[in-house]
């Protein structure tokens, strides 16, 4: 940070799994153009700055404390002030108003304190006002306190009322109340739904009456976008949330591409101090969300929810231009971004930099599928800023459009763009087979003929390829599980080393699949990946099942030994191991669109593994199917108990260790 650059500009790189994002610094896309206060406008001090909006190049500032609207020219000089508002000759006050919206010089004021919407011209003459409508759609306990108002291209009026969980109130161009629009919902997991159901089922009427009901968050701001889609922002600084921004179609449904996305910062340290409070959208669908929490940042997104950059700042202290004590509202004026500070009672205007213009222009062309004209622009952008993920993705799309699939693959990989990578991979693979069809065809014929000849020779001469009886019996468990596991039990043809080798291969191939699968399928993140977790869900899970099953079956008449249970369990993993090897290979050959059959194949192998395991457990314990089902249920319960006991032992050991360390520390200092 410097006097010229008082705030940091950064963006987030989306990882391969598209679930996490990593902060990286980038070149500034916006800079401070000017800071406007009462002295600059040569007026008495603002009583308050409650809201700002832009219309036809003019800025409108709502000062509800003084019941005044200030109008600024395009150069941010004072054009006029509206401090006398009348209706039928009577002067009205809008002290306590919270929101303002202007369309073609028709001004709408959300007069919160007086529970009304005022519609007036630029001379202060009120042409209409809206109070609480009389309608059966309005709940009896509804509190009508309008805080935001907006009007779409068809002159439909949308009003957000403070404390309303029903969505925005909608009025027709004739000022007729039509109903509510776009209410938020309370997200709930299956577990939460079941818990609530059980609680209600067994609770008394008194407990149900005293229970706390979860309510959805209310809109804190909204803006009308292209096509009359309404962009809303929902504020919460209580916990990490997703989907704070929504794009509502005429039916009130969220159609934003990333509906389950965190539109604010990703860091756990920053999340609890965030409060997305204001939003605006331009004619190209780029939208800006303002964080009014501790850090006062502006998040700039394109219409596909790709983060362009984050700028602004100030941890509740406006020490330099471009920082804020309390950033409250945001408005777009052409390419300028106007932000108000309610504590310092001033307005900061940000203008886009040359670099920002270049990125915006290239990204707009990319989003409009005009890839051919963006390649050189993206190359220049990468020269200026190698941290721009959009540039790598845009360049990948440009190369794909031009038919240079090798380059498209290269830049899609650099930009973690799986979709473009998969498309380019399919094209490049098709080109390879077209070019080498004769060679590939002859190679397949040769391999098929060679296999057929070897099988014929083997059968004719009765050649035994696998002479080790235990190894042969292990492989036979896939086609003939009943006979194979009978031999394990009755003839001792089970091998601990072979079983352990299968388990080890299962762990290794699971880890390799995570790291070395094809790029279009890869979700590997070196920073967050933990091979110990893979060990737990493979080796530890098998050992847990074997131990629990042995303990349960000893008490329930089972005759299987621990060694036998371990062997049949590990042998049963062979179909899964085979499926994972096939899956890993196919990720380097097929694209995601062609992967349905492999997914089905893997599912079948997993189901067959459970079938083989069931056969093995029944054979070693000499169980009928009914008893097997019963002991399996008890085994699962025992596994849960064992995990709980291990957790408790570890917790107690940690506490004992802490106590011993404390005792030694006190002894040492005495």
Helices (H) and strands (E) in the chain, counts: 19, 27
Record the tokens describing residue 388, joined without a space: 């721009």
Q: With contact defined as beta carbons under 8 Å apart, do 195 and 249 qualify?
A: no
Q: Is the pLDDT of residue 240 over 50?
A: no
Residue 210's pLDDT band, with cuts at 50, 70 and 90, is very low
Q: With contact defined as beta carbons under 8 Å apart, do 564 and 494 qualify?
A: yes
- Range scoring the smallest mean pLDDT among 84-98, 244-258, 371-385: 244-258
For tokens 């079983």, name the residue: 499
Residue 182's pLDDT band, with cuts at 50, 70 and 90, is confident
Q: Is the pLDDT of residue 424 over 70?
A: yes
Of residues 119 and 522, which shows the higher confidence score? 119
List, for residues 471-513, the tens digit of each pLDDT value. 999 999 999 999 999 999 999 999 999 999 999 999 999 999 9
Question: What per-residue confidence (pLDDT) applies to 185?
Answer: 53
279: nearest Cα among 342, 336, 334, 231: 231
List, for residues 73-93, the tens digit of each pLDDT value. 999 999 999 999 999 989 999
List, for residues 255-273, the tens digit of each pLDDT value. 887 767 788 887 555 555 6
Question: What per-residue confidence (pLDDT) applies to 203?
Answer: 52
Q: How far apart are CA 287 and CA 303, in angstroms?
A: 7
Question: What per-residue confidence (pLDDT) applies to 19?
Answer: 59
Question: What per-residue confidence (pLDDT) applies to 321?
Answer: 84
Residues 6+ apart with CB under 8 A from 517: 524, 583, 584, 587, 588
For tokens 């098709």, name the residue: 430
Q: With contact defined as beta carbons under 8 Å apart, do 318 and 344 qualify?
A: yes
Q: Is the pLDDT of residue 365 over 90?
A: yes
Question: What per-residue confidence (pLDDT) applies to 181?
Answer: 87
Residue 7's pLDDT band, with cuts at 50, 70 and 90, is confident
Record the tokens describing residue 405, joined without a space: 């699939």
DSSP state letters, 486-509: HHHHHT----HHHHHHHHHHHHHH
Record the tokens describing residue 550, joined without a space: 């042995």
Cα dist. 568→456, 471, 520, 618 in Å? 32, 13, 36, 10
Count of CB atoms within 10 A of residue 512's CB?
14
Q: How far apart are CA 212 and CA 29, in angstroms?
A: 46
Question: What per-residue confidence (pLDDT) applies to 186?
Answer: 44
Q: Is the pLDDT of residue 453 over 60?
A: yes
Q: How far apart are CA 288 and CA 274, in angstroms?
A: 15
Q: Is the pLDDT of residue 650 over 50?
A: yes
Q: Residue 117 half-sphere exposure, CB side, CA atoms within 13 Å?
A: 29
| Averaged pLDDT for residues 558-567 | 94
Residue 320's pLDDT band, with cuts at 50, 70 and 90, is confident
| Averaged pLDDT for residues 44-59 | 95
537 alpha-carbon distance from chain centroid: 25
Question: What per-residue confidence (pLDDT) applies to 585?
Answer: 95
List, for residues 388-412, the tens digit of each pLDDT value. 999 999 999 999 999 999 999 999 9
Record the tokens describing residue 131, joined without a space: 């109070």
All structural domains of the chain, each given as residue ranges with its CATH number in brackets, are 30-352 (2.120.10.30), 359-463 (1.25.40.10), 467-653 (no CATH)
Question: What per-residue confidence (pLDDT) applies to 192?
Answer: 41
119: enclosing H helix or E strand: strand 116-120
| Averaged pLDDT for residues 271-276 | 71
Q: How far apart are CA 101 and CA 223, in angstroms?
A: 10
Rounded (10°) CA dihedral 346, 351, 356, 361:
120
Percent above pLDDT 90 for the chain: 67
Question: What per-residue confidence (pLDDT) applies to 209?
Answer: 45
239: nearest Cα among 270, 275, 271: 271
Q: How far apart are CA 109 and CA 148, in angstroms?
A: 8
506 alpha-carbon distance from chain centroid: 31
Could you tell me which residues are beta bridge partners of residue 42? Answer: none
Of residues 106 and 134, which shows the higher confidence score? 106
Average pLDDT, the chain: 88
Q: What is the pTM of this model?
A: 0.82
List, for residues 429-452, the tens digit of each pLDDT value. 999 989 998 888 898 899 999 888
List, for residues 137-165, the tens digit of each pLDDT value. 888 888 899 999 999 999 999 999 987 77
Residue 204's pLDDT band, with cuts at 50, 70 and 90, is low
For tokens 């028709």, name the residue: 106
Could you tell me which residues are beta bridge partners of residue 128? Answer: 119
Question: What per-residue confidence (pLDDT) applies to 543?
Answer: 96
Q: With contact defined as beta carbons under 8 Å apart, do 369 and 399 qualify?
A: no
Question: What per-residue confidence (pLDDT) applies to 267?
Answer: 59
For tokens 């790291």, name the residue: 515
Q: With contact defined as beta carbons under 8 Å apart, do 67 and 85 qualify?
A: yes
Q: Is the pLDDT of residue 214 over 60?
A: no
DSSP state letters, 182-230: --------HHHHHHHHHHHHH--HHHHHHSPPP-PPPEEEEEE-GGG-E
Question: What per-residue confidence (pLDDT) applies to 212?
Answer: 39
Of residues 665 and 603, which shows the higher confidence score? 603
Question: What per-residue confidence (pLDDT) applies to 189?
Answer: 42
Q: How far apart are CA 654 and CA 658, in angstroms?
A: 6
Record the tokens describing residue 175, joined without a space: 């000022």
Question: What per-residue confidence (pLDDT) applies to 18?
Answer: 56
Q: Is the pLDDT of residue 112 over 50?
A: yes
Max mean pLDDT range (102-111, 173-182, 515-524): 102-111
444 alpha-carbon distance from chain centroid: 44
């Amino acid at each position: 940070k410097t006097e010229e650059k008082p705030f940091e500009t950064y963006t987030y790189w989306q990882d391969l799994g598209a679930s996490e994002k990593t902060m990286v610094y980038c070149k500034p896309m916006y800079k401070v153009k000017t800071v406007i206060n009462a002295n600059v406008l040569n007026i008495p001090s603002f009583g308050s700055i409650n809201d700002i909006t832009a219309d036809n190049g003019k800025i409108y500032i709502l000062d509800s404390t003084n019941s005044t609207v200030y109008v600024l020219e395009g150069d941010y000089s004072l054009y006029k002030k509206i401090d006398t508002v009348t209706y039928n000759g009577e002067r009205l006050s809008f002290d306590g108003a919270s929101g303002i919206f202007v369309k073609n010089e028709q001004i709408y004021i959300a007069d919160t304190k007086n529970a009304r919407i005022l519609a007036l011209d630029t001379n202060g003459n009120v042409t209409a006002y809206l109070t609480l409508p009389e309608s059966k759609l309005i709940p009896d306990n509804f509190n009508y306190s309008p805080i935001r108002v907006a009007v779409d291209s068809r002159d439909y009026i949308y009003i957000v009322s403070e404390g309303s969980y029903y969505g925005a109130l909608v009025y027709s161009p004739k000022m007729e109340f039509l109903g509510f629009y776009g209410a938020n919902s309370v997200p709930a997991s299956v577990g939460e739904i079941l818990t609530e159901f059980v609680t209600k089922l067994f609770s008394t009427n008194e407990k149900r009456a005293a229970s706390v009901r979860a309510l959805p968050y209310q809109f804190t701001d909204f803006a009308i976008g292209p096509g009359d889609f309404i962009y809303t922002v929902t504020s919460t600084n209580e916990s990490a949330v997703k989907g704070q921004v929504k794009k509502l179609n005429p039916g009130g449904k969220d159609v934003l591409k990333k509906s389950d996305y965190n539109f604010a910062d990703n860091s756990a340290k920053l999340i609890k101090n965030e409060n997305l409070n204001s939003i605006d959208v331009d004619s190209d669908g780029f939208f800006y969300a303002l964080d009014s929490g501790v850090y006062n940042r502006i998040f700039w997104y394109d219409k596909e929810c790709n983060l362009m950059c984050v700028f602004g700042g100030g941890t509740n202290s406006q020490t330099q231009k471009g920082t804020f004590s309390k950033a409250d509202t945001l408005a777009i004026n052409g390419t300028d971004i106007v932000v108000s500070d309610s504590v310092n009672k001033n307005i900061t205007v940000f203008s886009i930099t040359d670099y920002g213009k270049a990125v915006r222009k290239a990204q707009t062309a990319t989003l409009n599928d005009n890839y051919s004209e963006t390649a050189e622009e993206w190359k220049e952008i990468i020269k200026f800023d190698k941290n721009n993920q959009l540039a790598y993705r845009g360049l990948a799309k440009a190369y794909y459009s031009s038919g240079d699939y090798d380059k498209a693959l290269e830049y899609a990989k650099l930009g973690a763009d799986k979709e473009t990578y998969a498309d380019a991979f399919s094209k490049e693979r098709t080109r390879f087979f077209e070019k080498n069809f004769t060679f590939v065809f002859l190679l397949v014929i040769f391999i098929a003929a060679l296999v057929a000849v070897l099988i014929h020779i083997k059968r004719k001469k009765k050649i035994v390829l696998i002479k080790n009886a235990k190894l042969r019996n292990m492989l036979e468990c896939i086609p003939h599980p009943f006979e194979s596991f009978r031999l394990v039990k009755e003839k001792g043809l089970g091998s601990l080393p072979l079983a352990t080798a299968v388990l080890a291969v299962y762990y290794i191939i699971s880890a390799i699949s995570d790291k070395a699968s094809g790029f279009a399928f890869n979700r590997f993140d070196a920073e967050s990946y933990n091979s110990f977790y893979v060990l737990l869900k493979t080796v530890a899970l098998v050992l847990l099942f074997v131990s629990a099953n042995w303990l349960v079956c000893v008490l329930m008449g089972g005759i299987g030994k621990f060694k036998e249970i371990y062997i049949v369990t590990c042998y049963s993993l062979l179909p899964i191991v085979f499926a994972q090897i096939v899956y890993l290979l196919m990720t380097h050959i097929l694209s995601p669109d062609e992967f349905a059959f492999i997914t089905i194949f893997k599912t079948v192998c997993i189901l067959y593994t459970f079938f083989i395991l069931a056969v093995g457990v029944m054979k070693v314990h000499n169980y009928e199917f009914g008893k097997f089902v019963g002991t399996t249920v008890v085994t699962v319960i025992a596994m849960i108990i064992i995990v709980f006991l291990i957790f408790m032992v570890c917790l107690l050991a940690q506490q004992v260790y802490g106590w011993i360390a404390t005792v030694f520390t006190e002894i040492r200092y005495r």
